[in-house]
Each structure stands twice: as C-alpha cells, then as structure tokens.
Amino acid sequence: MAVNKIQKFRTIEEVMTFLNGGVVGGVVNKSPGPPSNNAPGVGGLVGATLTFTSPSQVTVTFAVSSGSNPDPYTLLLSDIKAQIQAADPALLVTQNQDGRIVITEVTPTDGVAIAASSGGGYATVVGTVDLRTLHYGAGGSLDGKTLKVTHNGGATLTTTFAAPANQGAVVSQINANTVAGGITASINGSNQLVLQSSDAGAGASITVAVSTAPVILGISQGTTTGASANTANSLLGFDTANPTVGKVYSPAVVSSTPPCWTWTYSGNDNMHACYTWE
C-alpha cells in the first residue's frame, strides 16, 4: 500500500540526487594515511568489493590506482570513479559539496541500489523487484511459477506458487516449503524479497536453482554464502547492514504511480522539503 512521505534536504543538490535515484556515501576527500600523505583518497579499498543490484547486477573489485597517485593503494576519487564506471557505464560517480561520494545513473531510469555487506553472517539473497509491482491472483505474475532453492547444498526446496493474492502470500507460500529446510523468506523496507539462511558463517549458503520464478522476483540464480562480502561498503560510507536503495521519482503530473513526488518547497531556514507518494 502506497503512503505519503515528507523528505527534507539541506541543498537543492541533495533534492536532485534523491529524485533521480542516486545514493550518497561518505567523505572521500581526506586520506586515512599519515600526515605526510596529503593526497585525498580512501585507504583499504584495494581488493574490497562493492555490489550493485540496480541498474544492473555488477560487482566492482577495486584494484590499485593506475593514475599518478603517489600511493596507489589509497584510491583517489578519480580512481573510484573510473573503476565503478568501467564496471557499469550506466553509472555516474561524482562528489557533493560536502565531499561525499554520490552515485547516480547517467540517465535516471531505475535508481541505484547497492547490496548490503556481510561480515561472515547469514547467507542472504535480496531481490531487485518491488513486489508491489507484480500482478496477483489467478493468472498473475507468479501463478504456476516455481522457485527452487537449496540450503548448504542439501535437498532442493521447491515452491510452486498458487495464485498468491499479495506480497505477503508470496512470502507465506515460500516459507511453507523452505523454513524447515533452513531458509526463511521475508520482505525488506523496499518491498523486495529476502531469502536468509538459518545458520551463519562461511559454511552457510543458499543456492537459487534454475526455475521460472527467480527472474520475476529479481533474484539471481547461483550460490550466495555467508562469507564476508561487499567489504567496500563501510570504507565508502554506505550502509553495511541494509541495501542502499535509490528510487527515481517522477512528477505526479506525469505519472501518479508510486514512487512519485507531488510538490516541493523551500523554507526560510534553507531547508528544502519534498512530498512523495510511494
């Protein structure tokens, strides 16, 4: 069910980033190295990973600087920008007036989403589809489709969807077949499907097998483990426990389908407010 929300921002730049589905991380213009290293940048990124789930599924594994950086292991914004944009040319990396890294789409369409990190926790699979956008009931998007998963390489747990009436029914039907086998389904704050293992650590895994429902649910086929992943999140200032999700908001006069924005205003205190429907 869509709801009204009020978003507040300090600058027009922040409003534009939000409406265009961008995500904002931490400050990248100060070096964590000793005072003798005056070059701006972020240390510890080499070998770390950052996984995008939108606008496409791609993982960036950061490499040493190929530029003129005196410390190739402390990546400059230009290094970070070049490596992310090489992995997905649809992405644009910039920096806002506070020195924070900003990632948007070159042409705002789907919004940017960065997967949460894992410190050897539960094996977790997160979909990229807003379950509210699916058609439900008999003949709906999932009716008759199958989802096949395994936990720690065990028996295949198969869900054949029977005309789920809503997103809650999708979760209920999956759990009826998977909870006893060690996988629990839920919905996150962005209305995306989440599959999580009952155990944690590098030995925990969820495998999504070839079946007809994964593409509809926005989950990738393959194996996800509880090993440490997306280790660049904390270094770049993105959330580690939850996906960082940007949504593209259209004006309500163009489309009243959520997410959209209805109106904005600027106050005397230079605070900018945006009313959204999502």
pLDDT tens per residue, range 26-49: 988 654 444 444 456 788 889 889
- pLDDT over threshold 70, residue 132: yes
Phi and psi torsions of 14, nearest 5°? -65, -40
**Residue 167 — pLDDT band, cuts 50, 70, 90?**
very high
Pairing of the two strands 23-27 and 100-105: antiparallel
Q: What pLDDT score does 217 carry? A: 97
Q: What pLDDT score does 61 carry? A: 92
Distance between CA 186 and CA 177 in Å, rounded? 13
Q: What pLDDT score does 264 carry? A: 86
The lowest-confidence range among 44-53, 114-123, 251-260 is: 114-123
Query: Between residues 66 and 67, which one has the greater pLDDT?
Result: 66
- pLDDT over threshold 70, residue 111: yes
- pLDDT over threshold 50, residue 59: yes
Q: What pLDDT score does 179 carry? A: 97
Q: What pLDDT score does 119 carry? A: 63
To the nearest whole number, what is the mean pLDDT of the chain? 89
Q: What pLDDT score does 40 carry? A: 67
Q: What pLDDT score does 255 carry? A: 81
What residues pair up with 159 in beta bridges, in sequence order? 147
- Among residues 120, 127, 126, 85, the alpha carbon closest in space to that of 106 is found at 85
Query: Between residues 178 and 240, which one has the greater pLDDT?
Result: 178
- pLDDT over threshold 90, residue 18: yes
Query: Between residues 18 and 120, which one has the greater pLDDT?
Result: 18
Q: What is the pLDDT of residues 94-109, one digit of tens each?
A: 999 888 999 999 999 9
Give me the percent of the chain exceeding a pLDDT of 90: 59
| Section 8-15 average pLDDT | 91
Pairing of the two strands 157-160 and 222-225: unpaired
Each domain of the chain, given as residue ranges in start order, spans 1-12+249-278, 21-114+231-247, 122-225
Question: Which residue is listed with tokens 């894992």?
Answer: 118
- In whole angstroms, how far apart are CA 100 and each of 65, 95, 103? 20, 5, 10
The number of beta carbons lying within 10 Å of the beta carbon of residue 47 is 12
